[in-house]
Amino acid sequence: GQQLNQSPQSMFIQEGEDVSMNCTSSSIFNTWLWYKQDPGEGPVLLIALYKAGELTSNGRLTAQFGITRKDSFLNISASIPSDVGIYFCAGQQYGNKLVFGAGTILRVKS
């Protein structure tokens, strides 16, 4: 089935550092999304990207929708301890169906 290739699988960084993660796909998606999942909770939407080439920010988060609609990256600037969690990219298909990447586990050393 459809798969999104998300990298890196995990990151262990120092507080204050910038973080970058990305997703690629062999298929085109209408919308790209970035979700964060805290331990014991469900995923929460961080950023939604609707147009090819679109660059969107949400506080310290910045994400871009690739021009080919097959990739996206998420940057987190000046990381803080509460950024810890699992970050998922997701692509939207028909019927609001989401296909998720495998996730990037982020750990922050304070």
- Which C-beta is closer to other proteins: that of 50 or that of 109? 50
Q: Is 85 in the site for other proteins (CB under 8 A)?
A: no
Q: Is 12 in the site for other proteins (CB under 8 A)?
A: no
- State in Å, rounded, how far the first CA of the chain is from the last one: 39
- Which C-beta is closer to other proteins: that of 42 or that of 59? 42
- Point out which residues pair with 23 in neighbouring strands: 6, 72
One of 22, 23, 43, 106 touching other proteins (CB under 8 A): 43
d(CA 10, CA 78): 18
| Distance of closest approach, residue 53 Cβ to other proteins, in angstroms | 16
Cis peptide before 8 (omega within 30 of 0): yes
